[in-house]
Chains A and B, each alone.
Chain A
Amino acid sequence: MGDYMLLGLFDNVNPAAEAVRGLSELGYKERDVTIMSHVPYSARFFGRKSPRTYYLPFALAGAGGGALIAFFITVITPSLYPLYVGHQGLTPFPPSAIMYFEFMALGIMAASFIGFLMQGTFPILVRRMYDERITDGYIGIQVKARENMLERVEEVFRAHNPVDIKRDDADNYRPQGIRHLIFWAIVGGGAATAGIIPLLFTYDLIDIPWINRMVDTPAISYQEGPRLAAPAASIPIHGPTLIEDQPASERLEDTDVSRQRGAQLYGTFCAVCHGVNADGQSTLAAKYYTNQDSFPRGIPPLAGQGLSPDYVFTTITRGWQYGDLIAMPPFAYQLTPGETWDIVNYLLSLGAEQ
């Protein structure tokens, strides 16, 4: 029962065209008959209308998409982070024209190719009637015929000297269903993954540490080697502590200027661990968050703790140690006593406010 697929193979345009006419006399419409050839023969050769194509929407979508990308690059990105160069505006016209041209051209080309694939419902994941001799110059005519028409179609083929006639059950050539969607989903997923990979690098999720040699600058900066941290008691201090926990230098007057200097110095030396607001909340502090029992946080808050000025001064100068777990480096080298007092004044002002 049911339908059959028939393929007649001809070696020349003329009999093939006659066979096509014979089929249309049998009542087959143009869309029921498929002609296959090894070169693009005009549809007129077979007395048929040229098949329609639908490239315009794809090309327009591509051009529009390209224009959007160009708009993003020429208008949005400079306004996200405005930087002025060479006395030019943020979006000068001449370079914009180049961007629009290139991206629209790119969009049209890419979208047209996608249009080519989609109109052809590529990829073809099912069997289809075909004969490998077609690429050797033969012309194949494919018809889907009901069982009762089978003989008459074959008669038409035979009347025009076919090279071969193939016949098969149409059930073997069912249209593509869900497999088609699965394929496009895989393609889309693959494309999305490929798009994400560069982001892993640009967001440093994949870090290549050895490659940035600028990090290892040979300039000896604050808190860098080769001066190694010495044991606390051995640190030579400008104006040494004569009595334990008691600074030898006079505390600077607690003025606004001193506090502001202290705030600046705090930002340079302390904030990286103790947090910008001196509350122990910093990126670095989170990394020291190790032992719940021994300590509530990795790094203690400073603001509002009611610490004595002398204690703060000597701690900054000599550093601080908790077992062998956490250590604050001594700042005797980096800060003069005056600068240390500035920080003390700033920190105590935080406490005073609360």
Chain B
Amino acid sequence: MAENEHKWTMIVDLDKCTGCQACVIACHAENNVPIASENEVIRGRGQHWIRIERYWEGSFPEIQARFIPVFCQQCNNAPCEPVCPTYASYHSDEEHLNVQVYNRCVGTRYCGNNCPYKVRVFNWYQPQWDEPLNQQLNPDVSVREAGVMEKCTFCIQRIRRGVEAAHLEGRDVADGEVVPACVQACPANVFTFGDLYDPESEVSKRLPDQRQAKLLEHLGTEPAVYYLKGGESHVGE
């Protein structure tokens, strides 16, 4: 492992998730994610980098809701990467993240097809914000034009800033110093974010976990997101 390498990892404790969608809002605000209209959402174009998938278990009246926050799993063997003809989607060595370079994207949408989690969103239209909402856009994140693919970055702008600030002080980034927007906003502490290469980080301490599972693990994509789910626990009761 090189000196500057980090393995950014997320743990999602499903037993804690209440489905409140605060993470979705935080993500929209942090990453300048365009807001799709109601009509667009009905047409299947909900444009979220993170979404709460809701599944129903059982039948009425013994019905239970399950919530799964789904966002880019930052796969180690990412299916979206090799299919891109322009290297818009590639694997970063430093962060071990699956990165999307907007300026290289020509919009073939092959990555979107090949993503089993369907977490890649496409800019169907030129994104627009009504005045004065455009003034709240985050200057650290570029706004993507129509025809470009985008997805969750684990708030790479925060990661970069945190790592660089730590380096200036001649130290490595400390656990908890970098926090993506969804993690910061979650009222139920569903998410744990950190560097898996750092043995002292909270993610390293919590993994492996008896309740741990990965989404669509059988596909062999090796996600960097771990879901924790107890067999007995229920949500929505």
Please list the residues of chain A having a beta carbon within 8 angstroms of any beta carbon in chain B. 83-88, 212-214, 217-222, 226, 257, 260-261, 264
Please pick, from A85, A218, A222, A264, the residue contacting B90 in the complex, using a CB distance under 8 A. A85
Which partner residue on chain A sits nearest B77 by CB separation?
A: A87
A221 touches B144 (CB 8 A): no
Per DSSP, are chain B's interface residues mostly helix, strand or loop, or mixed? loop
Please list the residues of chain B having a beta carbon within 8 angstroms of any beta carbon in chain A. 32, 76-82, 84, 87, 89-91, 93, 102-103, 126-129, 134-135, 137-139, 141-146, 148, 164, 168-169
A85 touches B84 (CB 8 A): yes
B87 touches A83 (CB 8 A): yes
With A86-B78, A226-B135 known, 15 other A-B pairs at CB within 8 A are A84-B90, A84-B93, A85-B84, A87-B76, A213-B146, A214-B102, A214-B143, A214-B144, A214-B145, A218-B127, A218-B128, A218-B137, A218-B143, A219-B142, A260-B168
A85 touches B82 (CB 8 A): yes
Report chain A residues within 8 Å CB of B139: 219-222
Q: Provide a sorted-by-A list of 27 A–B residue pairs whose CB atoms are within 8 angstroms.
A: A84-B90, A84-B91, A85-B78, A85-B82, A85-B84, A86-B77, A86-B78, A86-B81, A86-B82, A87-B77, A88-B82, A213-B146, A214-B144, A214-B145, A217-B142, A217-B143, A218-B128, A219-B32, A219-B142, A219-B143, A220-B137, A220-B139, A222-B139, A226-B135, A257-B168, A260-B168, A261-B168
B144 touches A85 (CB 8 A): no
B146 touches A85 (CB 8 A): no
Per DSSP, are chain A's interface residues mostly helix, strand or loop, or mixed? loop
Which partner residue on chain B sits nearest A83 by CB separation?
A: B90
Return B1 CB to nearest CB of chain A, in Å: 16
Across the A-B interface, give the 4 residue pairs with the lowest CB-CB distance, nearest first.
Answer: A85-B81, A219-B137, A86-B82, A221-B139
Return B108 CB to nearest CB of chain A, in Å: 14
Please pick, from A85, A88, A214, A218, the residue contacting B134 in the complex, using a CB distance under 8 A. A218
Report chain B residues within 8 Å CB of A212: 145
Return B87 CB to nearest CB of chain A, in Å: 5
- Per the bound structure, the CA–CA distance linking A1 and B81 in Å amounts to 78
Report chain B residues within 8 Å CB of A87: 76-78, 91
- Per the bound structure, the CA–CA distance linking A34 and B110 in Å amounts to 58
Which partner residue on chain B sits nearest A258 by CB separation?
A: B168
- Per the bound structure, the CA–CA distance linking A83 and B76 in Å amounts to 14
- Per the bound structure, the CA–CA distance linking A28 and B143 in Å amounts to 81
Please pick, from B87, B141, B148, B168, the residue contacting A264 in the complex, using a CB distance under 8 A. B168
Report chain B residues within 8 Å CB of A86: 77-82, 91
Report chain B residues within 8 Å CB of A226: 135
Report chain B residues within 8 Å CB of A218: 127-129, 134, 137, 143
A214 touches B81 (CB 8 A): no
- Per the bound structure, the CA–CA distance linking A213 and B146 in Å amounts to 8
Return B66 CB to nearest CB of chain A, in Å: 30
- Per the bound structure, the CA–CA distance linking A84 and B128 in Å amounts to 34
Which partner residue on chain B sits nearest A84 by CB separation?
A: B91
Which partner residue on chain B sits nearest A88 by CB separation?
A: B82
B87 touches A85 (CB 8 A): yes
A214 touches B87 (CB 8 A): no
Report chain A residues within 8 Å CB of B93: 84
Which among B78, B89, B91 has the highest number of chain A CB atoms within 10 Å? B91
Report chain B residues within 8 Å CB of A222: 139
Which partner residue on chain A sits nearest B170 by CB separation?
A: A257
Beyond A84-B90, A85-B82, A219-B137, whether A214 also contacts B77 by CB under 8 A is: no
- Per the bound structure, the CA–CA distance linking A145 and B214 in Å amounts to 89
- Per the bound structure, the CA–CA distance linking A226 and B134 in Å amounts to 10
Report chain A residues within 8 Å CB of B126: 213
